[in-house]
Structure 1
Amino acid sequence: MQIEVIITGWEQGCCGAPFQVGSPMTWKLQAEDPAQKHADALPRFQEEHHEQTPEDVPQWDVTGVVVAITGINYPSLPITGEPRSFTPDTEHPQDCAISSVGEPAEPDFEQYSVVFEVAEDAELPPYAPEETLRQIEFEAIAEELNHARMHDGVGVVLEALADHAQNSYGTVARITREANRSAVTAEPHNTEATAIRWARSSANDDGILVTVGDGTWLLPATAADADSVGEFLLAAAQGRVAEHVRPGEGKAQYLATEFQGTDGHLWSVKTEFEPFDSGNGVFAVVGMLWERVQRGEHRYQKWER
């Protein structure tokens, strides 16, 4: 009989054995919720080998032969209010039939769907609804917490600020906000201006995450600090946010995002780094720090078309 095995890309890329159509394989599987598939779909199982499965969820080795492989990627949807954070758009998968997984020249996928031929009398792990119930309970608790935080003293200030952003800047910026969480992304139409993002934490350790330009601040969850988010919004809209590259001690340098509030307070967040010798006499900086160094000193423009 045939079953479907779902393999996540990071698990396979970490330490999964290469396989191809026709390969005999043994994978440690757990059953997925049968209610989440079409009636005519194959029974679906998840491969997992990093001991992340709870002990009470049935999971064991199943041997079979690979019949077909589909590589799947999902478009990325930005998470409102959070910088450089994305969630996969599982409603619009992009899939491609492939013949093997694990060869260096092949593209990587976020997920692999494998048609797996197993013996007719193969013992397969049963579905354990406890894991689904745990996830549902976790999501319900987070949703309840987010809803409550939208209506406490801090949330009232943040929601009023979101209304203000829409009413005051809706013609010069794209304002996105969450319906069930205090989270806003304001992206100006002027590409030389800076966006602003803020989000109330969904975790027990409450706080307000604010990002302007390349700088990110974590403010305490108080009404006064929530009110300060308005200073960030005004500074971004008026073009008062600047990026700096400044010398530190020795070879060290630091990057700073700064603006001055209407009350004279200097809001500044710094990141220190030290260029390293790449081996050919050229000093390099990794990742996003390099992009910031390349952009250098600059001030963002106003939110104007």
Structure 2
Amino acid sequence: MRVSVWIDAGQQQCCGEPFRTGEVVSWEVNEKPGYEGLAVRMNAEYAGGVRYVQEHHGDDPDGAVTGRISHIDVVACLRENGTLLVGSGRPLPVAADTDVPEGLQGDELWTLEGWVVRLDLLTS
């Protein structure tokens, strides 16, 4: 089974471990289908494909998911005077969380908000 997980850039920078396509990961998550925070950045249709939100602090996690990363999209959004422009987000494929897509490096209008990671779940 394949699922998508939202990883917030702030939480990843604070407490996350690096990840890349092909790796097996186990993440604590909360089940939040159609996560509102992603819907604001992108749109409800795109967010509707996300089932889980990775959790490093704050909410008690609902559980953990373990799987092999099959695809990563970094989500980049426009900001004006530091304020998010609702719906401005676009997904850009990357191989790892440390990758910055060409054209966004040094561009002050775009911010990297997080990642949508597709996992092929592993069963024990």
TM-score, normalized by the shorter chain, greater than 0.5: yes
CA shift at 1:91, angstroms?
0.8
Q: Aligned partners of 1:35 and 1:20: how far apart in 2?
A: 22
Which structure features the higher share of strand residues? 2
Which structure features the higher share of helix residues? 1
Aligned counterparts, 1:194-205, within 5 A: none
Structure 1 residue 90 corresponds to structure 2 residue 86: yes
Aligned counterparts, 1:1-305, within 5 A: 1-34=1-34, 37-38=44-45, 42-50=49-57, 52-53=58-59, 55=60, 59-78=62-81, 86-102=82-98, 106-107=99-100, 109-119=112-122
Aligned to 2:103: none
Q: Aligned partners of 2:64 and 2:86: how far apart in 1?
A: 28
| Residue identity matched to 2:63 | W
User: Does the Cα contact within 8 Å between 1:2 and 1:42 map onto a contact in 2?
Assistant: no
| Residue identity matched to 1:112 | W
* Paired residue total: 106
TM-score normalized by the length of structure 2: 0.71
String of CA shifts for 1:221-254, please: whole Å, max 9, x gaps. xxxxxxxxxxxxxxxxxxxxxxxxxxxxxxxxxx
% same residue: 22
Q: Aligned partners of 1:2 and 1:42: how far apart in 2?
A: 11
String of CA shifts for 1:49-94, please: whole Å, max 9, x gaps. 12x11x5xx611211110100111111144xxxxxxx332231213
CA shift at 1:30, angstroms?
0.7
CA shift at 1:43, angstroms?
4.7
Query: Considering only CA atoms, is the larger Rg found in Structure 1 or Structure 2?
Result: 1
Q: Aligned partners of 1:63 and 1:98: how far apart in 2?
A: 20
C-alpha root-mean-square deviation of aligned residues, in Å?
Answer: 2.6
TM-score normalized by the length of structure 1: 0.31
